[in-house]
Structure 1
Amino acid sequence: MESTQKKANRLIQESSPYLLQHAYNPVEWYPWGEEALTKAKKENKPIIVSIGYSSCHWCHVMERESFENDQLAALMNQHYICIKVDREERPDIDQIYMDAIQVMGIQGGWPLNVFLTPDAKPFYGGTYFPPQQWQQVLVQVAKAYTEHKSQLEESAEKFVQAINQSELEKYGIGKIQHEYTAERLDEMFVKLSHQFDPQNGGINKAPKFPMPTIWNFLLRYYDVSGNENALDHAKLTLNKMAWGGIYDQIGGGFARYSVDGQWFAPHFEKMLYDNAQLVSLYADAYALTRDKEYEQVIGDTIKFLKREMMSEEGGFYSALDADSEGIEGRFYVWTYEELEEVFEEEDLRLICDYYNATEAGNWEHSFNILHRSTSKEAFAKKHQMTVTELDDKVRNWKTALLKIREMRIRPGLDDKILASWNGLMLKGLVDAYAATGHTKYLHLAKKNAHFIASKMMTPEGKLWHSYKNGKASIEPYLEDYAAVIQGFTALYQVCFDAVWLERSEKMVNYTLEHFFDREEEMFYFTQDAASTLIARKKEIFDNVIPSSNSMMATNLYFLGILLEREDLLNTSRNMLGKMNKMLEVEVQYLANWACLYTAQVTPTAEVAIAGDELIAFAQGIHQEFIPNKVVAGAYTPEEQASKIPLLHHRDAIDGKTTVYVCRNRSCLRPVHSLAEALRDIKGIKQ
């Protein structure tokens, strides 16, 4: 009797959850590496490189329709060498071939399927292909490769030349312009504001992505300019996201994007990088406004991350799938009957009104996506109750529904741990602690930081990109260093353990040695010792995650001040100076560069604290929204002063905790009260 057990392909040896999902496809998949590339050359076969990630809905669809289809798999195996890539493990490969299809004039996205010559040069590609179309493409490309090989190779060579063009050259970025004015910031905001959605917040298009860096810029621009329009749109965006279906009203945390323009129907996967940055964003907004709803979003999102995405060792996993039980969003949506089983009539009526649930369902297949359409104050007034009474009810509703939801079949978890996204999460936890003062967030931040330092970092300051099953692997990318440096630097400034600053400096030195292009004064995405691909790219433009170069420029600036290193400051200023002209044209995709720009318009406050009440003073300073500052501290003159220049000769005077504030290398007189310190930091004159 024949066995019906599926045969594993080479992906069974991999650790990536996405690759393992394809390990029993009839396609003879290879991971990216020498074995596959050598075989392609030896057999003179074109390569299919198929790129996706574990929580990508259409990646799963194409797998089910095409890669699990024996007939289509046979075609792929016969004519091609087939390589599967997890874009989260290998963003360098994804970046190159995404650029390639965009050069071909094709809209990018995932799954990304690109046809390559045996020497890995792209000549055709696309994203999702329905099975019938995929079959036609497989046959036609194989025929073209056999009959018109030289023309395809010539075409591929041209694509490679286009891909290898420097980003700075491609966009005319070259001349350094050191001019940073409030007037130019105003112009940037006005141009950006033309793209706002005045009703729903965010950018006026669908689908709607959170894009936290844009709203970070608005908060920082408001801090410099006092322009209420910037603050109003940032608040509108944060409110609408927090009320929308994109936010998990019961369990906390944000989905990757909303398919509509109202933040209503999410694409239900949850990514670590989104939630990490959104915790930072809501923390900044809370520090500025003291809006209790923002504090609630911070708390519920961190609870979700700790509950569902944190390993026992202290690292955070990458993503949760959109689908469960074969249905997109099933884990998160509710039928009216399900709500009816849980709540008595009065509560049922209230919860349905609060979350816009109906008997027929407000979404497809009679399901309800729970979402809000008004503030707590307005809802409480409508139902003649206090906000406190409403909060109690909402808390009980969430507890009851979360208990039921925990019994459902869970979405798939991508349990690889990435250094870059954990660096973003570390920064989010530090920002949450800084804004709220809740020490539980600081404990989580320290646990995460110790995990990164002990499991994903060498004593010399080298990182690894990925960690799974007790093993760190994959050569690091610039985004790993940029995000972890940012997280460690932020952690130092709230706990004042100098080890985090020392590690940041080691990593900065490593990146300058192994990633920096001194001719163009920007960092490559891959280090000099990385395996050779057909191109070595520089990441310049900010997207759902800030570009690694904009993060590094920001790191160099603030670390340069903390460590009094002119080389770091000069490099940062030159990097921003190169982007200065582009900021006049398009802020939406340069928002993190624009955040750094705001720090050049007014002097950065250099704050040194010495004495027994160091932490209490620091907490008081951090709970105010003062983004353009660095903070250093020590309990005793001997403790850390020799390691941190900002603390040299900064002792507690007369045994009292003392705060020293300087700007532009000009120092104010030392003060002994938090109120005086805040006055000096904010630049308020006596």
Structure 2
Amino acid sequence: MPNRLANATSPYLQQHADNPVDWWEWSPEALELARTLDRPILLSVGYAACHWCHVMAHESFEDPATAAYMNDHFVNIKVDREERPDIDAVYMRATQAMTGQGGWPMTCILTPAGEPFFAGTYFPPEPRQGTPAFTQVLQALAEAWTDRRDEVITVSKDVMAHLDTSIDPSGGALAADDLDAAVAELARGYDAEAGGFGTSPKFPPSMVLEFLLRHHARTGSQQSLDLVAGTCEAMARGGMYDQLTGGFARYSVDRFWRVPHFEKMLYDNAQLMRVYLHWWRQSGSPLAERVVRETGRFLLDELRTPEGAFASALDADSDGHEGTFYVFNPNQLMRLLGVDDGAWAAQLLGVTGPGTFERGFSTLQLRADPDDADRWERVRAQLVAARAARTRPARDDKVVASWNGLAISALAEAGVLLDEPDFTAAAVAAAEVLHDVHLADRFSRTSRDGVAGANTAVLEDHGSVAEAFVSVLGVTGDAVWLDRARTLLDRVVDHFADPEGGFFDTADDAEALVVRPKDASDNAYPSGTSAAVHALLAVAAITGEHRYRAAAEAGIGSAAAIATGAPRFAGWTLAAAEAVLAGPLEVAVVGDVEHRADLHRAALGLVSPGAVVVAGDVGLDVPLFDQRGLVDGRAAAYVCEGFVCRQPVTTVDGLVAVVSG
């Protein structure tokens, strides 16, 4: 029996279009059906690149008997968490409250009103290691709904009471002492042997690393820089980084960044590209520079869509196994490279007989720079060619607004700093797609094949895209990007703000869920609050408008308790707080493109936390450029704070001196 997912815009939903399960998308019609039939809702949430989502689909959702039971006893709703982060946020909180953990695939059972009374993640097709079979879970829940309805309703009300308890929005500005304390707390959780924070699994702490870089820039703290260097070096040299063509996998299964979960996400690579750029900017590390260039090329070569935006992810699996595209064994290296080069490559890349991964295969690591760079380039080219003949992982072509915003910001800045014009051009092109497709009518969170999706943008989309538009303004000198950023941020202030402090994750005119989500903690990418705060600070710096600055400071205050209590989950807020302490600096680089280029690059090379740099022609119609022209006929840089400017300079040395002074 066909289900209703065949025409969905989400690749994840389309993956389930041939299931015998009578799937619905989240919709008023599905909820009404549950009320009419008096059945509970089975809500299944995942995403296209999720390995265990594929496993559960194959084991359970493709099984006719399991599907028949689901169809007879539940109204079944499938949600792509990347399209509907609001739904995911609400029911992930419920899952974490009921089980103490969360993840995907996420399985929640709801009343017809959408109130959860059971939650879990992956369930196997038969009992394993204390986990019941999925069919056992379904039968118990169906019987409870029929025979013990009062108990079910009591549980759902208790869960709803928990969900209705919002995070305390009170909190003031984060002071310098708070930021120092956050560094000390992060240092206590640092893994000095392996890099990173905590134990396994290890996720790339991109936002925390940016905070630490800014803290070092403000205070000179060697500890902060050491935490960054140790973590960045370990990630870039391990198996989580693709040593052949660049790009980071989503996380490492082990402490040492050796074995990744192989899916490659746009949001990780965009954020890490920026972190390594800023590490290079502060340290001059050749490794950091190489990673930035390779990751930028990965974004352009592997994730760019025909329309000019960036796809969401590459899958972890191909040919029925995770990681098949990426791993090698010694025999393969010998056949491909010959005995001498094969043995050399095996030693260099950590490819062993027993294997470091599964089935005798090894991930590729590059724990030290090759002793023969030319030989490495020849070997790498041969391995890239051999890998290209393998079955490539599937690509999730869905374009997510906020994640494209992160990529645009990274590419725009790196394009200027590293003299990679392709990066800058790609950033501008992607920004045009967001404007022309996602903002053509209302603000759509996703698109595919140049067609906007049905789901409305949430707070993180507004924040990350507005910051991206500011980045494009900075590198193009086209004032239209400021207007576009302000339009988004005006909506943030008018429709997302919580009168009690901070921001909700959905607008006041968005679809109402059982609770209105509000979470200022960062996860794998910035929270809506921290994304909005960065954009608000940048636009306040360019326009001088207090309402943007006040909204940013309110957002920081709403996350203060998280930032001081659990800094690993508030890195982007802490980074914004560093910018507030530093001003942030406002830098206007005035002159035509050719003559301002060196000053522009030097301005972007400033390490002052959150410095906002705009380069443009004389008369650029943005407030930061008001009455600022050439100096003695030469391109000039104006360094300001709060629209109070220092003496303009016309040389790179002069710019460095005026900032240092």
Cα deviation for residue 443 of structure 1 reads: 1.2
What residue identity is the alignment partner of 1:280?
R
What residue identity is the alignment partner of 2:465?
V
8 A Cα contact 1:46 1:117, kept in partner: yes
What number of residue pairs does the alignment pair up? 652
Alignment of 1:254-269 (within 5 A): 254-269=248-263
Change (3 A) 1:56 1:178: closer
What is aligned with 1:605? 585
CA separation in 2, counterparts of 1:529 and 1:142? 35
Residue aligned with 1:83, SS: strand
Cα deviation for residue 664 of structure 1 reads: 4.2
What residue identity is the alignment partner of 1:69?
D
Cα deviation for residue 582 of structure 1 reads: 4.3
Which residue, 175, 179, 198 being the options, matches 1:180?
Answer: 175
What is aligned with 1:286? 280
What is aligned with 1:494? 475
Which residue, 295, 304, 309 being the options, matches 1:315?
Answer: 309
Residue aligned with 1:45, SS: coil
Which residue, 575, 578, 582 being the options, matches 1:595?
Answer: 575
8 A Cα contact 2:326 2:363, kept in partner: yes
CA separation in 2, counterparts of 1:359 and 1:144? 52
Q: In percent, how many aligned pairs have the same letter?
A: 35
8 A Cα contact 2:585 2:610, kept in partner: yes
* 2:187 is the alignment partner of 1:193: yes
8 A Cα contact 1:121 1:156, kept in partner: yes
Which residue, 625, 635, 640 being the options, matches 1:662?
Answer: 640
8 A Cα contact 1:633 1:647, kept in partner: no
8 A Cα contact 1:216 1:281, kept in partner: yes
* 2:429 is the alignment partner of 1:447: yes
Q: Which consecutive residues of structure 1, in runs of 5 or more, have no partner in the other structure?
A: 1-6, 381-389
Cα deviation for residue 365 of structure 1 reads: 0.9
Change (3 A) 1:58 1:582: closer
What is aligned with 1:635? 617
Which residue, 453, 460, 470 being the options, matches 1:479?
Answer: 460
8 A Cα contact 2:218 2:608, kept in partner: no
1:178-199 Cα offsets, whole Å, 9 max, x none, are 4622x43222211110000001
What is aligned with 1:579? 559
What residue identity is the alignment partner of 2:242?
D
TM-score under structure 1 length normalisation: 0.92
8 A Cα contact 2:624 2:643, kept in partner: no
CA separation in 2, counterparts of 1:526 and 1:100? 18
CA separation in 2, counterparts of 1:204 and 1:118? 40
Moved more, 287-296 or 221-230: 287-296
What is aligned with 2:67? 73
* 2:563 is the alignment partner of 1:568: no
Which residue, 403, 410, 429 being the options, matches 1:421?
Answer: 403
CA separation in 2, counterparts of 1:326 and 1:581? 44
What residue identity is the alignment partner of 1:577?
G
Which residue, 675, 678, 682 being the options, matches 2:653?
Answer: 675
Change (3 A) 1:9 1:240: same
What residue identity is the alignment partner of 1:657?
A
Cα deviation for residue 661 of structure 1 reads: 1.9
Alignment of 1:60-459 (within 5 A): 60-132=54-126, 133-168=133-168, 173-175=169-171, 177-178=172-173, 180-181=175-176, 183-374=177-368, 376=369, 379-380=370-371, 390-458=372-440
CA separation in 1, counterparts of 2:561 and 2:6? 49
Cα deviation for residue 425 of structure 1 reads: 0.8
Q: Which consecutive residues of structure 2, in runs of 5 or more, have no partner in the other structure?
A: 127-132
1:92-133 Cα offsets, whole Å, 9 max, x none, are 111111111222234211110111111111111111111131
* 2:5 is the alignment partner of 1:11: yes
What is aligned with 1:4? none
Residue aligned with 1:317, SS: coil
Moved more, 574-583 or 188-197: 574-583
CA separation in 1, counterparts of 2:192 and 2:460? 33
8 A Cα contact 1:434 1:623, kept in partner: no
Residue aligned with 2:122, SS: coil
Change (3 A) 1:83 1:179: closer
Change (3 A) 1:634 1:299: closer
CA separation in 2, counterparts of 1:470 and 1:498? 25
What is aligned with 1:506? 487
8 A Cα contact 1:106 1:126, kept in partner: no
1:624-643 Cα offsets, whole Å, 9 max, x none, are 43333222343223xx2xx3
Cα deviation for residue 522 of structure 1 reads: 1.7
Cα deviation for residue 16 of structure 1 reads: 1.0
Residue aligned with 2:107, SS: strand
8 A Cα contact 1:195 1:203, kept in partner: yes
CA separation in 1, counterparts of 2:8 and 2:497? 31
CA separation in 1, counterparts of 2:615 and 2:55? 53
CA separation in 1, counterparts of 2:100 and 2:64? 28
Change (3 A) 1:411 1:392: same
CA separation in 2, counterparts of 1:662 and 1:328? 51
Cα deviation for residue 653 of structure 1 reads: 2.6
What residue identity is the alignment partner of 2:473?
Y
CA separation in 1, counterparts of 2:463 and 2:583? 24
What residue identity is the alignment partner of 1:405?
R
8 A Cα contact 2:544 2:623, kept in partner: yes
What is aligned with 1:385? none
CA separation in 2, counterparts of 1:303 and 1:632? 25
CA separation in 1, counterparts of 2:605 and 2:616? 19
Cα deviation for residue 358 of structure 1 reads: 2.4
CA separation in 1, counterparts of 2:476 and 2:517? 36
8 A Cα contact 1:286 1:435, kept in partner: no
* 2:462 is the alignment partner of 1:468: no
What is aligned with 2:130? none
Moved more, 618-627 or 96-105: 618-627
